[in-house]
């Protein structure tokens, strides 16, 4: 793997947060991420990819790590016709945690490039209704292409700013995989942290707070919202959830993913104390699972 760029302030931050685990975390940041795929259950549940060695992900149905050296999997006919999707394992989990029913009306508020929307559609067996939204018109084209390739037919695509999303109805379930500082992507892109800075993290945090406030307003009573990021900064995770708990009737729900090592949400950081309910959120550290770093929180809107 190419030399990984870890900013000095980033190192200081995670030395303080992880203490004796920090060296393992930094070592994992310098180790290339194992690629993974998920079979598209809308088209197949059994796929034989010639000369490709796969290892089952034991906590996600139809998901596999790619254990053989290959650079051409994305060019196979099976990929082009949507029999499988290349996707990071951690990135599959938010849709699985949301677990929409076949009768639900679902909003994917920041949906592009569409992998999570496609997985939502598979869980719903192409029934119910999904609104897949993104603010970026260029990324909307990729979103539409992905959904068509996967055979998704229960989804409408919209292009609006998620901060003031306009809709005549409310949703049973909402996925907010929020734009973030992408700290978890360093194992896939060695220069992922080139633009990282504390002001950048704080600017993302402000955007996330606006998005989650908007998303929560769009939920029906007793509806559920999953908030996720591919970053580890408490400012972009626990602090965002804490703000929602302070200002709304939100309740955090337990998340259980058997066979996956998950840390609890952090309740104290830099002399700030967060709502203890945030312990129910999960942190997926790359040095504990050998997958991308991720944060996931499941939220219910009380009556």
Mean residue pLDDT of the chain comes to: 95
Tens digits of per-residue pLDDT, 133-191?
Answer: 999 999 999 999 999 999 999 999 999 999 999 999 999 999 999 999 999 999 989 99
Mean pLDDT for the stretch of residues 215-240: 98
Quick check: 298 pLDDT over 80?
A: yes
Task: Count the domains in the chain.
Answer: 1
What CA–CA distances, in Å, run from 210 to 45, 141, 161, 206, 299? 39, 25, 11, 6, 16
At residue 140, the pLDDT reads: 97
Query: Which is it for the CA torsion 21, 93, 208, 215, positive or negative?
Result: negative
Instruction: Return the bridge partners of 184, or none.
Output: none
Tens digits of per-residue pLDDT, 8-61?
Answer: 999 999 999 999 999 999 999 999 999 999 999 999 988 888 888 999 999 999
Contact 163, 212 (CB under 8 A): no
At residue 59, the pLDDT reads: 96
At residue 181, the pLDDT reads: 96
What CA–CA distances, in Å, run from 89 to 40, 159, 229, 263, 265? 14, 27, 13, 17, 20
Quick check: 70 pLDDT over 80?
A: no
At residue 257, the pLDDT reads: 96
| Confidence tier at 2 by pLDDT (50, 70, 90) | low
With respect to residue 290, please indicate whether it lies within any of the assigned structural domains. Answer: yes
At residue 299, the pLDDT reads: 98
With respect to residue 58, please indicate whether it lies within any of the assigned structural domains. Answer: no
With respect to residue 25, please indicate whether it lies within any of the assigned structural domains. Answer: no
Tens digits of per-residue pLDDT, 233-278?
Answer: 999 999 999 999 999 999 999 999 999 999 999 999 999 999 999 9
With respect to residue 281, please indicate whether it lies within any of the assigned structural domains. Answer: yes
With respect to residue 223, please indicate whether it lies within any of the assigned structural domains. Answer: yes
At residue 46, the pLDDT reads: 82
At residue 69, the pLDDT reads: 73
Quick check: 194 pLDDT over 70?
A: yes
* Secondary structure in 3-state letters for 110-143: CCCCCHHHHHHHHHCCCCCEEEEECCCHHHHHHH
Q: Say which CATH number the domain at 198 has.
A: 3.40.50.150
The catalytic residue positions are: 230
With respect to residue 288, please indicate whether it lies within any of the assigned structural domains. Answer: yes
Structural domain including 199 reads 89-301
With respect to residue 112, please indicate whether it lies within any of the assigned structural domains. Answer: yes
At residue 1, the pLDDT reads: 58
| Confidence tier at 64 by pLDDT (50, 70, 90) | very high
With respect to residue 46, please indicate whether it lies within any of the assigned structural domains. Answer: no
At residue 73, the pLDDT reads: 85
């Amino acid at each position: 793997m190419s030399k990984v760029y870890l900013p000095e302030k980033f190192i200081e931050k995670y030395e303080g947060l992880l203490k004796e685990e920090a060296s393992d975390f930094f070592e994992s940041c310098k180790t290339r991420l194992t690629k993974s795929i998920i079979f598209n259950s809308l088209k197949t549940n059994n796929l034989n990819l010639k000369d490709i060695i796969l290892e089952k992900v034991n906590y996600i149905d139809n998901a596999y790590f790619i254990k053989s050296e290959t650079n051409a999997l994305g060019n196979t006919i099976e990929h082009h016709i949507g029999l499988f999707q290349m996707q990071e394992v951690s990135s599959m989990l938010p849709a699985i945690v949301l677990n929409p029913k076949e009768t639900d009306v679902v909003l994917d508020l920041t949906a592009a490039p569409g992998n999570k929307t496609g997985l939502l559609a598979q869980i719903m067996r192409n029934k119910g209704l999904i609104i897949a939204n993104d603010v970026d018109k260029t990324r909307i084209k990729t979103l539409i292409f992905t959904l068509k390739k996967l055979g998704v037919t229960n989804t409408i695509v919209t292009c609006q700013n998620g901060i003031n999303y306009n809709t005549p109805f409310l949703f049973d379930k909402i996925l907010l995989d929020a734009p973030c500082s992408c700290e978890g992507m360093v194992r896939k892109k060695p220069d992922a942290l080139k633009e990282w800075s504390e002001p950048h993290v704080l600017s993302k945090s402000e955007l996330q707070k606006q998005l989650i406030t908007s998303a929560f307003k769009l939920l029906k009573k007793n509806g559920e919202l999953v908030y996720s990021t591919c970053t580890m900064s408490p400012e972009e995770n626990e602090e965002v959830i804490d703000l929602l708990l302070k200002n709304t009737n939100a309740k955090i729900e337990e998340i259980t993913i058997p066979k996956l090592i998950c840390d609890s949400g952090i309740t104290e950081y830099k002399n700030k104390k967060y709502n203890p309910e945030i312990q129910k959120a999960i942190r997926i550290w790359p040095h504990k699972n050998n997958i991308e770093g991720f944060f996931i929180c499941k939220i219910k809107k009380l009556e």
